[in-house]
Structure 1
Amino acid sequence: MKLKVLVLLLIASFSFSVMAQEQNSEPATYVGTVGSMTVVPSIASRTQLERPVPLTEEPQDGRSSRLKILIGKDQQTEDDYFVRNRHRLEGAIAARPPSLVFDVNNNVSSPSDPSLAVGPDHVFIVYNTGFIIYDKEGNDLTGPLNTSTIFPSGGCCDLTVSYDNAADRWVVTFLGGGAQVVVSDGPDPIASNWFAYNIPQISDYQKLSVWWDGYYMTDNTGGTNKVWAMDRTAMLAGDPNASIQGFNLPGIVTDGFFSPQALNISNDNFPTSGGATIVYQQDDAYSGVSEDHLKLWTIDVDFDTPSNSTVSSPVEIPTTPFIGVFDGGSFSNLSQPGGGQDIDALQATVMNQAQYRKFSTHNSAVFNFVVDTDAGGGELAGVRWFELRQDGDGMPWTIYQEGTYTAPDGRHAWHASLIMDVFGNIGMGYSSMSGPTSTETVRVSSYYTGRFASDDLNIMTVTEELIDNGTQNIGGFRYGDYSKIDVDPNDDKTFWFINEYRKTGGENVVGRFKIAPDFNNDMGVVSIDEPLDGILTASENVTVTIFNFGEDSQSGVPVELTVDGTVVANETFTGPLEGQTSTQYTFTTPVDFSEEGRTFEVSARTILASDEDTTNDSTSRNITHVFANDIGVIEITAPDSGEGLGSETITVIIENFGAEDQSNFPVSYTIDGGTPISETVPGPLTAGTSTSYTFATPGDFSAIQSYTVVASTDLISDSDESNDSTTKVIRNLSCDTNTNDTVMSVGPGAGTVTESVITVTEDFIITNANVELTIEHSWVDDLDIFLIAPDGTSVELSTDNGGDGDDYIQTMFSDDAPSSITTANAPFTGMFQPEGSLDDLDGLSSLGDWTLRITDDTNSDGGQLVEWSLQLCDDLSLGFEDTLVSDAELIIVDKGNDQFSIQLPTTAITERLNLTVTNMLGQTLLGYRVDNDGSGYNYDLDMSYAASGVYIVTLGTIDGSSGQTKRLIVR
């Protein structure tokens, strides 16, 4: 269980002490030398260089096995603490656009596993099947090169790269017959030779970090050695007998995938003592973990006398509670916009890399992992990030600060990497795309944020800045598996970040940016802090935050205050204010905000005469004098549309928009305009807050149809009734999707008709229909597209739209879409309302041939229908038919105490299958891949933490083409 009291303690002070444990230590469990060493001649010395070979299959590294968790064990019911408690300066300090952005060519694998390292003159970029070397201006110096260029043994994949700053050497790793590590013999990666070491003991997901006494590598191996220490001095010298030692991490708890990180020294200021620190997150969704925390181990290695080498017992550091599990551990968990394939959030993984930096007064380490910030049925990915500190080399680590970053507009933020510059400023790159509540469509794209060293703790203060937008969805569910940020050794303050997105194909994008100052004199107002919305007077003082973006201290700075376009104050901030720091300033001139219900536009700016960048001088905020009494229902959170609905509880979110607390107020709901169900909310509901209320009287949604639910507050003294109620349409339905991926020509030729057919063999009554299609065509305005039902009913999807634009790309037609295809621009990607209505198909039988008819109007341009899918919804389907295997039936054995054995006894098939457990709202609670153990497929399912109710268990093929489904009941 999460400890709610713990949260207050953590936020009150982020320099809390480490939980003491017995500091026993264990010896190395493996001692030896690297398997072999080969000297590989420089890239510059060779004329025949191999290019990367595209992978024909998805890389099956350790992350391809899904994660094993206990359904319902993580009982967190509140959204992420840091998301619920936003700081006034979160994202308030203006960022600068990246100074360089470029795509990395020839990504020929999915996921791409991008990583980079930056040296004095080069940017070394690796991905799953190869690498490219660039100069500092983004010029490609080598073209894409195969791994065999520097690795003498073949294999696949998981390249990583680091720059050993103190030695001026490059260190690159690769999976192939074990792990391979190559170390350059100089700082020029093209002109240098390579010492290539083969290390057969390491099997998967190797992540190398540079420490002062060794190269440390974590390993997702099936054996007991989880961390490996290699003699850095010997490997830099090309010693073929370089030592290697293996260590087990005592007390580690995983969800089935082993992904801690060893701290990596990010610059050339190395510690002179102290063992390597290994860090991992421990989620209370895992068996054996009672509360969320970090675990840290210290490895003290002696390469001269291996018997002296030890790994410590784990030190546990409690954290603010987090939700680290998405969809029961499934890989497919973040929905892409427009109905694209769900992709991997990379849960339960400390992301690449955990970065260390030594300062004059302390040492810091920063790292992150993804969390679900929504404790309800939805998902919103955020980045939980940490800065640990120690007072000196080898001293204990404590949490100095932690926070959770989410992107604006309700977008997901994940796939992050962060590092510090020479000042202690943090730069963080990450991926983002539209979330469930986003108002704009954003496909997987690259962004950065950050914070200044002197900022208030636990927040990323720098405004989100775009590196580059992706324009297409990721094709499969694999994404990542990691990204990488590095700091430029030339100035120690310029950040370089790489991650994966998609434009014309699979690309990785690099962004170069800086948070540290570019100017000596640069001031600005970054936030308007007070007054807050509420009951305001005719004499309010306005407080703002002033930030010094520059390097020089500033005093006597003029500041200006404007309300609704009129300047109301010109005053002087006396200062001094040091560079890269902020302070609050309160105007002495009062402002009249007394008009009830009015919203005022307030702006403030600095007017520094010597300011070298005036783009960040000002900021604005709307301040509202709210009504005293004003409440309303803002959302109906339950039930959701889904399969098998019946008597369902109705839950709403009520917000107090007013300035007075409210108690014992009426709230009601109606279904399809029927008799209102009215109840009383006891409260109190504090001004400016919201609360969830569940009606004691459930609603009947058992019939297969659409229901319109209206929920309202009925406060007699309500000053603004326009925001009292909200509406939600709830559908009781289930859906089945069929696809025709036979490529067919479309045009050219006036009147040329292309017809593609999907035959539906199931016979049911349609309650909802959607169509998705991909058409490559160089002039889509020529196309008339219709869906024709088996009985001849025709629905116009799109006629003569898009002008001279190209292509329909995974275009979804749905009556529930937010906008019509007629208002969009080509290429059409995403979800749109058709020109006709797919509701015309409601009530028809699904059985028979469904025809997609495309007519080309003109003779000049042509193209092809790539594929199309038809989704029909009814009241019968559980997902797909029981067509997995004919010689056996899925069996669920109730062993008592909510323990179940899932069995499919068969030898007819041996492929890995997908086991999912979903609730009746269609939410995935567990995703796990099961192998045939020789007698069949067997899985012990622990539902002891799950809520009472009906659950659906499905065992099917990974591509979803067939499977078997059963229900189980938790009592």
Structure 2
Amino acid sequence: MKKYILLLPLLFLFQLNVFSQQKERMGPAFIDSASVIKSGALSKKRLIPSTKKQKLYNPRNRGINKIVPGKGLPKRDDPTVQKKKGEIPAKAPIFTFDGADTRSTPSDPTGAVGRNHYVNAWNSEFAIWDKQGNVLIPGSSLASIGGAFNDETDGDPIVFYDESADRFVVMQFSDDLAPRGTSNSPAALLFAVSQGPDPVNSGWYTYRFDLESLPDYPKISLWSDGYYITTNKDALEPQGKEIVYVLERDKMLAGANDVRILGFPLPGIQNNGFYSPAGFSVMGSDLPPAGDAPIIYLQDDQWAGVNEDHLKIWLMDVNWEELSSSSIRLNQELTDGVSPFIATFDGGSFKNLAQPGSDTDIDALQGAMMYMTQYRRFEDHNSVVMNFVVDVDASPAEHAGIRWYELRQANDGAAWSVYQEGTYAPDPSDRFSGSIGIDARGNIALGFTILDDNPVDPIFPSIRYTGRYVNDALGVMSIEEQSIVEGLSPQPSPFGRYGDYAHLSIDPVDDLTFWHNAEYFEGTRRLNKVGVFRFSATELNDIGVISLESPEDASLTASEQISIRLRNFGLNPQSNFEISYTINGGETVTQTYTETIPAESVTEFNFSELADLSEVGQIYTLVISTNLQGDVNPGNDSIEAEVKNLPPNDVGVTSIDAPESGENLSASEQVTVTIENFGGEPQGNIPVSYQVGNNATVSEVFNGTLEVGGLEVYTFNQTSNFSSSGRYTITARTRLANDFDPSNDSERTSVANLDCIPEGSDCSQGDGIFYFEINDFVNERIPCTTGYLDFIGGTTNLDRSINDYSVTVQTNFADDDVEKFSMWIDLNDNAVFEDSERLITSEVIPEINTPFTYNFSLPEDAALGQHLLRIRAGDTSFDGDLNDPCSVMAYGTTHDYSVNIIDSTLDIEDFILNEAELIVVSDPTIEGLYRVVMETSFNEPLRLTVHDISGQLLLENLILNEGDGYVYDLDMSYAARGVYLVRVGTRKVGKVKRFIVK
């Protein structure tokens, strides 16, 4: 069959209320057809056994993503992040069973449920189960399907169930025709459509569509006029190339010959390497009108050419009678309701998320609308749900969460709008590889992978799910997180590949039950686990408590009303049942709910008996329960909640946000801090101050109002001078009158005005330092970012009298002894890393993912105190000079730290009396407040005492060296006027300073 390319740009000007500009309507860029090759039932004789050989699939077709450094929002945390897990009780999975057991990397888990079967596929095999999880067809090569699938096992399979036709579809790509002797075409898409509802016995229609280049990462979706395919094709130059395809569904279902395929570009798409758009895929048997088949993709404003985070929607119109009139057009750019997101990890590399027990980070699967994008028709609207992975905070360390959307359309042909959005990241664990679905009642489920390398509570890659009910608060996954399977070991492969996707499908028998399939590990085995679960009600009588609504943590009284939320999980309306609560195991308070809760509805209830929660600082544990006669699910009847009676006055500084380390800091830098209200009452007119080093304290007043638990960013009016090169310590604090807990008042950070910051090196291939250890300080799983990272706050002590130290580094790239490492310590504190201060020079890092140790010595006369430390590593065969600390290397990283040089041989008397200086500085804005400072690198606890002129001891306290010296804030506002003496030292030796209280 002859293949030909059509370049049929049809330019139309039109305007939408969502997005107004010229848009290009384009015709098909590719047209071809294929004939059917039938194959029979899947008899045991035809099955080609599963192979257990380790194999890496498709290792090079996911080009490294690129971002514009410093570009894009948000600059702080994701504004839509859900910060705690859902509280609505949910049942554990109905049942689970293991799917794939493979050594393939990655396994590419996919599976779809039909009326009587579950078909699972992976790289590059498949199996079939009945609906109870019993094996009907064991794991076998995809070539066992026969027909066009003979000798074709190149990977990226997708299994799809067409509910309105009651058929299964299996798709995979081919990237090499040489075994078939037709090397004129390098790639193809392969399809198998079951000839009837039974994928075991009905036989298959198979098709092979030859393409010009590899259709990487293909995903299939259903619209009424065709099967739609999206790909990661021609990722480096997508403009004008066919990226999405549509196939003649009706002919494929009939097993006809000459089934046509049309390929279209995505006009106006921006990407940064690997990308995966998605087609809206119909769930349920109610098909939409033909035409206007939507394709959607995210656009991250970190990418070149994208000025605002948004979602692009294209519409495809196919005319199978007159192919040349078929077209695709960019229809909407959704910005309203789309909050800023960070959808790029580690500058675009594919090793992102740290896992316990392994040096290999896992691919977060960035740049993809995760499979599937499920579309469902309701009586008064159409809905579609989708998800993709985001980095939920702006810190250098990656924290993966799942950004999800429900878009709605008022009627067929209307514009789409964001109905709700959220980012599911309720704790520090990473969540990614999501698959989302919407059932016939509008409830949403989200299956995902979770992992955490926290050494105290590690989580190997594991599969879980959450969800929400249709009437819950928007933007929240309100249902408690449930486990499908907890992983037993880290990913066994060194390549970082995970997934590359998961697959959630919905049972067509009830359109309510979700079947989720994803990947986990046990030793060297890559396993797929299928979990079957349901949120929608199926029982008649089921009432439970969802949450305690009030009181919340605050300053509480002896007469607090207890308010709760109840949910009717069942299909019958309910009334006249008992509700009770206890506090800290005390007397049970019981009342009757006399109203009526409709089926699958939520209501609030207020107990008339008030509770005594008046003890300040006390944590009260409440157990709240329902008692419905005939309740079929007692597991959701009770909840336990905690409420703390907070002290009324308690605020503090939780972070110092500006300035940051940089080049050419000025003499008038603004200082910005974040203030938090830890107490139980709103606070205003809060005294706040900062001090740079041992300079005079700058004191001002925050005039806004901090609500209970609230955070506010405050920028001081008085700037500070950071123009001299070097390292600065900033201490910021609040001074609220009668503050309950002074320990949370202050925060300290270090910044530096550096001679140079060599940003712009490429570390996406693994060049540079990804693990660093010096003395007792360890920095592991270091992200790549822009090639430079500021870790100046990280410090350790080095004793110059020992003179025998080492550092350990690890890289993720090494080739022909060109990856090398150097290190400097800025001993003269001028923020310039000079050749004489280079302590390690061009040491070879010979292997990847292996720690190597390098020795160095400190000069005997190295200055005591804190100094900057710079390390660099990279491929020295390319541009950039490793030993020029300011040179931007083509491939590598540069990091800055701090070290504190001490000398253990010095006698404490010599150290304190000869080297230390004690000063007392008064605060010009707060009468009676003094700061006592003794600058020294001595690091043992010392004692501070204050005496009046007659020798009477007024104060004695233990003080610690917090990095640059001993600092103590001394409140003498209640002391009589006169002369006082402050002493800092040991009981035997110390420094004394006189000061006057006026």
TM-score by length of 1: 0.71
Matches of 1:901 and 1:36, distance apart in 2:
60
- Return closer, same or farther for 1:159/1:920 CA change in 2, 3 Å cut-off: farther
Equivalent residue, structure 1, for 2:102: 107
**Following TM superposition, by how much is the alpha carbon of 1:233 offset from its aligned partner in structure 2, in angstroms?**
0.7
Question: Which has the larger displacement, 187-196 or 425-434?
Answer: 187-196
Matches of 2:712 and 2:745, distance apart in 1:
14
Question: Which has the larger displacement, 95-104 or 532-541?
Answer: 532-541
**Does the 8 Å contact 1:260/1:349 carry over to 2?**
yes
Equivalent residue, structure 2, for 1:162: 160
Matches of 2:87 and 2:584, distance apart in 1:
21
Equivalent residue, structure 2, for 1:152: 150
**Following TM superposition, by how much is the alpha carbon of 1:127 offset from its aligned partner in structure 2, in angstroms?**
1.5
- Residue from 505, 508, 512 that aligns with 1:493: 512
**Following TM superposition, by how much is the alpha carbon of 1:66 offset from its aligned partner in structure 2, in angstroms?**
1.1
1:566 partner SS: coil
Matches of 1:620 and 1:642, distance apart in 2:
49
Equivalent residue, structure 2, for 1:527: 547
Aligned residues: 769
1:615 partner SS: helix
1:324 partner SS: coil
- Return closer, same or farther for 1:771/1:591 CA change in 2, 3 Å cut-off: closer
**Does the 8 Å contact 1:351/1:368 carry over to 2?**
yes
Equivalent residue, structure 1, for 2:244: 227
Which amino acid in structure 1 is aligned with residue 552 of structure 2? Answer: L
**Following TM superposition, by how much is the alpha carbon of 1:769 offset from its aligned partner in structure 2, in angstroms?**
7.3
1:42 aligns with 2:41: yes
Which amino acid in structure 2 is aligned with residue 423 of structure 1? Answer: R
* 1:235-254 pair list within 5 angstroms: 235-254=252-271
1:210 aligns with 2:222: yes
2:127 partner SS: strand
Equivalent residue, structure 1, for 2:371: 352
- Return closer, same or farther for 1:33/1:877 CA change in 2, 3 Å cut-off: same
Q: Deviations over 1:669-706 (max 9, x none)?
A: 798xx8896654635350321345689668999999xx
- Residue from 359, 364, 367 that aligns with 1:340: 359
Equivalent residue, structure 2, for 1:97: 92
- Residue from 54, 67, 70 that aligns with 1:69: 67
* 1:568-717 pair list within 5 angstroms: 569-634=589-654, 653-658=674-679, 659-667=681-689, 679-680=699-700, 682=702, 684=704, 686-687=706-707, 688-691=709-712, 712-717=733-738
- Return closer, same or farther for 1:22/1:481 CA change in 2, 3 Å cut-off: same
**Following TM superposition, by how much is the alpha carbon of 1:890 offset from its aligned partner in structure 2, in angstroms?**
7.4
List alignment gaps of at least 5 residues for structure 2.
1-15, 175-186, 235-239, 758-771, 781-801, 807-838, 857-867, 899-998
Which amino acid in structure 2 is aligned with residue 411 of structure 1? Answer: S
Equivalent residue, structure 2, for 1:415: 433
- Return closer, same or farther for 1:690/1:238 CA change in 2, 3 Å cut-off: same
1:440 aligns with 2:457: yes
**Does the 8 Å contact 1:250/1:314 carry over to 2?**
no
Equivalent residue, structure 2, for 1:136: 131
1:234 partner SS: helix
* 1:107-126 pair list within 5 angstroms: 107-126=102-121
Question: Which has the larger displacement, 635-644 or 576-585?
Answer: 635-644
Matches of 1:873 and 1:261, distance apart in 2:
53
Matches of 2:612 and 2:52, distance apart in 1:
69
Equivalent residue, structure 2, for 1:819: none
**Does the 8 Å contact 2:436/2:504 carry over to 1?**
yes
Matches of 1:206 and 1:197, distance apart in 2:
16
Larger RCO (CA under 8 A, 6+ residues apart): 1
**Following TM superposition, by how much is the alpha carbon of 1:30 offset from its aligned partner in structure 2, in angstroms?**
3.8
**Does the 8 Å contact 1:38/1:196 carry over to 2?**
yes
1:265 aligns with 2:282: yes
- Residue from 353, 373, 379 that aligns with 2:398: 379
Matches of 1:275 and 1:847, distance apart in 2:
63
**Following TM superposition, by how much is the alpha carbon of 1:724 offset from its aligned partner in structure 2, in angstroms?**
3.4
**Does the 8 Å contact 1:25/1:310 carry over to 2?**
no
Which amino acid in structure 2 is aligned with residue 471 of structure 1? Answer: L
Equivalent residue, structure 1, for 2:189: 179
**Following TM superposition, by how much is the alpha carbon of 1:485 offset from its aligned partner in structure 2, in angstroms?**
0.1
**Does the 8 Å contact 1:553/1:576 carry over to 2?**
yes
Equivalent residue, structure 1, for 2:740: 719
Equivalent residue, structure 2, for 1:301: 318
**Does the 8 Å contact 2:57/2:154 carry over to 1?**
no
**Does the 8 Å contact 1:419/1:428 carry over to 2?**
yes
- Return closer, same or farther for 1:903/1:339 CA change in 2, 3 Å cut-off: closer
- Return closer, same or farther for 1:597/1:793 CA change in 2, 3 Å cut-off: same
- Return closer, same or farther for 1:663/1:434 CA change in 2, 3 Å cut-off: farther
List alignment gaps of at least 5 residues for structure 1.
1-16, 735-763, 773-790, 796-844, 850-865, 893-899, 905-914, 923-971
- Return closer, same or farther for 1:149/1:19 CA change in 2, 3 Å cut-off: same
**Following TM superposition, by how much is the alpha carbon of 1:634 offset from its aligned partner in structure 2, in angstroms?**
4.3
- Return closer, same or farther for 1:613/1:691 CA change in 2, 3 Å cut-off: same
**Following TM superposition, by how much is the alpha carbon of 1:241 offset from its aligned partner in structure 2, in angstroms?**
0.1
**Does the 8 Å contact 1:134/1:140 carry over to 2?**
yes
**Does the 8 Å contact 2:309/2:339 carry over to 1?**
yes
**Does the 8 Å contact 1:519/1:551 carry over to 2?**
yes
* 1:932-947 pair list within 5 angstroms: none
2:251 partner SS: helix
Question: Which has the larger displacement, 525-534 or 715-724?
Answer: 715-724
1:663 partner SS: strand
2:490 partner SS: coil
Matches of 2:271 and 2:393, distance apart in 1:
22
Matches of 2:253 and 2:462, distance apart in 1:
38
- Residue from 553, 556, 563 that aligns with 2:573: 553
TM-score by length of 2: 0.69
Which amino acid in structure 2 is aligned with residue 159 of structure 1? Answer: P
Equivalent residue, structure 2, for 1:880: 873
Q: Identity rate of aligned residues, in percent?
A: 35
Matches of 2:723 and 2:429, distance apart in 1:
34
1:199 partner SS: strand
2:383 partner SS: strand
- Return closer, same or farther for 1:451/1:183 CA change in 2, 3 Å cut-off: same
Higher CA-based Rg: 2
Q: Deviations over 1:477-535 (max 9, x none)?
A: 22222111001122221111111222222222221111112421111111111122223
**Does the 8 Å contact 2:872/2:895 carry over to 1?**
no
* 1:789-800 pair list within 5 angstroms: none
* 1:725-740 pair list within 5 angstroms: 725=746
Matches of 1:568 and 1:699, distance apart in 2:
62
Equivalent residue, structure 2, for 1:811: none
State the Cα RMSD in Å: 4.3
**Does the 8 Å contact 2:729/2:751 carry over to 1?**
yes
2:613 partner SS: coil
Question: Which has the larger displacement, 351-360 or 72-81?
Answer: 72-81
**Following TM superposition, by how much is the alpha carbon of 1:273 offset from its aligned partner in structure 2, in angstroms?**
3.7
Matches of 1:512 and 1:210, distance apart in 2:
23
Matches of 1:921 and 1:211, distance apart in 2:
56
- Residue from 563, 566, 570 that aligns with 1:543: 563
Matches of 1:410 and 1:133, distance apart in 2:
37
